[in-house]
Each structure stands twice: as C-alpha cells, then as structure tokens.
Copies of this chain bind each other. A is one copy, B any other.
Amino acid sequence: MDKKNIPEKIKVKRVPQRGVYDKKTIYKILDKEFLCHVAFIHNGFPVVIPTLYGRYENNLYLHGSAASRMMKSLKEGIDVSISVTRVNGLVLARSGFHHSANYESVVIFGKAIFIEDKEEKIKALKYVSDHIIPERWEEVRGPSDKELKGTMLLKILINEASAKIRTGGPKDEKDDYNLDVWAGVVPFSKEIKNPIPDELLRDGIPIPPSVEKYIKNKN
C-alpha cells in the first residue's frame, strides 16, 4: 500500500518506516495475542481498560458482563481506540539513547457494534473462545439463557487500523561501535507451564485435546 494514501488518523507518526497497514500483518499480530487495551472517553476523561478479545474475519469481538461500565459505555457506539501489543525482546545498544524493544503492535479506531441477536451472540462467544483456546468451546457446557442475558457482546470492524513492528539488533552511532560495550538483543517468549487441574476435578478426567494442542502449538 502506498503510505501517502494512509488516512492521518491511523498513520504511524513516530518512525514511520515501522508502520504497516496491510490486513494480513494486522490479523497475524491480533491472532498471536488475546489481551487488548480499550480506550474510551467516560465523563470527559480518557479511560483505558484491559480485556480479552477474539478476532474473526474483519471483526474484533469483545465480551463482558452486561453490567460492566465499559461494555455499557461502548454499547452506545462511542469512539474507541484499541491496542494489542507483544514485546519480543529488549534491544541493548552501546548508548543509552539507542536502547529499544522489539515489538509488534496494532492500534484500531472505531465504534463498537452491539450484538443483540441470540444466535449471533452465541457465534460471537464462540469466536472469542476459539481465538483464545481453539476447540475448547466443543468441550464445555454451552451458555444458558440466563448466562447469555448477563453477557454483552460487541464487535469492532478492523477498518481503521495500523500495525507497528520493530525487529532486529541495535542501531548505534558510528563512533559508538568502537566502544567496549556489549550490544545485542535479549529475546523473550511466552512459556506455557504444566496445566494445574482444579482441586475439585473428578477422578479419571484427562487433560483435554484443546489444552494438549494449546501447549504443543504455542511452545
């Protein structure tokens, strides 16, 4: 995409060469994570709240209690900004100034759409569940009418969105390459530890396929 045509609102301003606008890259980052930070205006003040999400096609789905302040505010179709960020490592340079982090982040602007229809609500819940841990939905008891009534589902179109990515080693000042200072990257990854069965788990229930696959795929 020609970066000249990117709308001002979503354009990456700082270090613009790190800005990425294609949907494939945006979806890829969104699919690696399940925690987002949602910003909205409440009583004139900015508020940011962490919450889980699921992506399906070009929509980001949020779920929460129907009594939640954030969900009730967002339901009204106010403007929101949502960020998803993954830090992949610390970048250690020869000067303090050039220290950085390797990361992948997405920022989305939009308005939430309230999902009222029961069937669509159940689908949206499944999208969130499948996003966080695939196949788990099929293993558990589905939602009762009472639970559905107590849960609010919202979707945000992933239309006004941009990604920002930094990879690779440090970039130092020319003269600093002569210094006796170690420079490089300290990479991170998410380690998934052994599942801890519920204390009240009935005897003879093995770790289910969803969890087995989750551990296998994410490690």
A interface residues with partner B (beta carbon < 8 Å): 9, 13-14, 35, 37-41, 45-50, 52, 64-65, 67-69, 79-83, 85, 87, 90, 92-97, 99, 101, 103, 105, 107, 109, 125, 129, 132-133, 136-137, 139-144, 147, 151, 169-170, 172, 176-202, 205-208, 211, 214-215
Contacts and interface: CB of A to CB of B under 8 A. Distances in A.
Contact of A182 (B35, B47, B79, B201): B201
Given A80-B46, A83-B48, A95-B147, A193 B184 contact: no
B205 A182 contact: yes
Contacts of A142: 95-96
B182 A207 contact: yes
B182 A14 contact: no
A40 to B, nearest CB: 5
B69 A14 contact: yes
Given A13-B68, A85-B50, A201-B184, A97 B192 contact: no
A204 to B, nearest CB: 9
A197 B199 CA distance: 45
A182 B139 contact: yes
B96 A137 contact: yes
B132 A90 contact: yes
Contacts of A40: 46
Contact of A143 (B97, B103, B198): B97
Contacts of A96: 125, 129, 136-137, 140-143
Given A46-B41, A50-B85, A107-B48, A14 B136 contact: no
A211 B186 contact: yes
Q: Which of A37, A65, A95, A97 has the most CB of B within 10 A?
A: A37
A196 B38 CA distance: 34
A48 B81 contact: yes
A188 B103 CA distance: 19
